[in-house]
């Protein structure tokens, strides 16, 4: 049996004159190096294997394809990343609530494995779908993604984005992004066609009350209000006068309680499609309205937990350090300038 100190003694063979470990020299000798130490692969358990440049992977991992070192980083509760406008951002930004595809890819990498199926029931312009495709080239392997979207305009944008992005990738000599399936219709109806236990990860950004159910416009002011949402308020018809899409002004106004009940009921149905080891990951931003902080992330988490067979496992914070700040309330009242969103992570309740 090898001495447990073998790896440490081996490391000392590759120290410089100051006693510092020389990782480059160790790599030249084809020795695996992890966190400044030579990895003694003979000491790895049967369920472990060393992945060059990534660390030690545990074959018992049922959550994702991350090594132990990558897993440790992925458990950080804050994602302090400002994603630059990319992936045909000029098109995707027509949707007020679109999420960066590479942020979606990062979350997909944390909560699914290569070959898994990802569902986004509120797909918008397809950030989740694009993220699932990016995983093939920049993450841990391609995922199959399914999206539901009731607005035909957003589906058209997703298809155009994919076409243009792949043209740009071909020009650079990069492999194309895989096309994913974006189905047109109401998620409450389309979910019936998804077999039970067939989805490994549900990743979505929930709509904000009745405002997101209206056709969004290219009018900057109207789009901004659509992103913020409102309780018991209607969009001013004059603000939407120059819209490229006709709004469905028959959509009912929802109170906060009605919106929460509607979301909870939908997630109760979505949960049937999620596999026992799967996760449900939900973007939701908090709000400041009418001199009151609306803790929507907590409200939504409790509503979902009280209705669906889901348990809140974590609340991650996506903090965008590049987000523009606005002087709200100055100099009479402190009003927060929101530079973060919550990412609620649920797992299915165990039958045990």
CATH 3.40.50.150 assigned to 78-348? yes
25: pLDDT strictly greater than 60: no
Are the C-beta atoms of 227 and 268 separated by less than 8 Å? no
Per-residue model confidence (pLDDT) at position 16: 54
Contact between residue 74 and residue 65 where contact means Cβ atoms under 8 Å apart: no
Instruction: Report d(CA 308, CA 345) in Å as an integer.
Output: 14
Summarize pLDDT for 254-306 with one digit per residue, the tens: 889 999 999 999 999 999 999 999 999 999 999 888 888 999 999 999 999 99
Give the up-direction half-sphere exposure of residue 27: CA atoms within 13 A in the CB hemisphere: 9
What's the start-to-end Cα distance of the chain, in Å? 40
Separation of alpha carbons 313 and 111, rounded Å: 12
Residue 180 scores a pLDDT above 70: yes
Q: How far apart are CA 88 and CA 152, in angstroms?
A: 18
- How many Å is the Cα radius of gyration of the chain? 23
What is the tens place of the pLDDT at every residue in 76-99? 999 999 999 999 999 999 998 889
Domain ranges of the chain: 6-64, 78-348
Binned at pLDDT 50, 70 and 90, residue 200 comes out as very high
């Amino acid at each position: 049996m090898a001495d447990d100190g073998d790896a440490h003694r081996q490391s000392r063979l590759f120290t410089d004159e100051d006693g510092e470990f020389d990782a480059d020299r160790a790599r030249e000798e084809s020795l695996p190096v992890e966190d400044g130490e030579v990895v003694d692969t003979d000491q790895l358990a049967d369920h472990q294997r060393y992945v060059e440049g990534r660390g030690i992977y545990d074959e018992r991992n049922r959550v994702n394809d991350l090594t132990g070192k990558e897993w440790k980083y992925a458990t950080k509760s804050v994602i302090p990343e400002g994603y630059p406008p990319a992936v045909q951002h000029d098109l995707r930004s027509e949707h007020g609530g679109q999420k960066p595809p590479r942020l979606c890819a990062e979350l997909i990498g944390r909560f699914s494995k290569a070959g898994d199926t990802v569902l986004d029931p509120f797909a918008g312009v397809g950030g989740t779908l694009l993220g699932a495709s990016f995983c093939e080239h920049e993450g841990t392997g391609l995922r199959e993604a399914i999206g539901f979207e009731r607005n035909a305009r957003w589906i058209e944008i997703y298809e155009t984005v994919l076409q243009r992005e792949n043209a740009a990738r071909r020009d650079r000599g990069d492999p194309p992004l895989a096309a994913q399936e974006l189905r047109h219709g109401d998620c409450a109806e389309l979910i019936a066609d998804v077999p039970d236990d067939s989805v490994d990860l549900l990743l979505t950004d929930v709509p904000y009350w009745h405002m997101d159910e209206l056709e969004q416009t290219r009018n900057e002011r109207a789009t901004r209000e659509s992103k913020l949402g409102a309780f018991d308020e209607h969009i001013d018809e004059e603000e939407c006068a120059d819209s490229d899409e006709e709004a469905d002004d028959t959509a009912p106004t929802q109170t906060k309680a009605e919106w929460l009940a509607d979301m909870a009921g939908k997630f109760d149905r979505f949960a049937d499609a999620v596999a026992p080891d799967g996760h449900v990951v939900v973007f939701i931003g908090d709000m400041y309205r009418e001199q009151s902080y609306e803790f929507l992330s907590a409200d939504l988490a409790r509503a979902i937990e009280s209705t669906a067979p889901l348990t809140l496992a974590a609340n991650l914070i996506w903090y965008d350090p590049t987000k523009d700040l606005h002087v709200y309330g100055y100099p009479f009242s402190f009003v927060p300038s929101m530079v973060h969103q919550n990412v609620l992570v649920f797992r299915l309740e165990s039958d045990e």
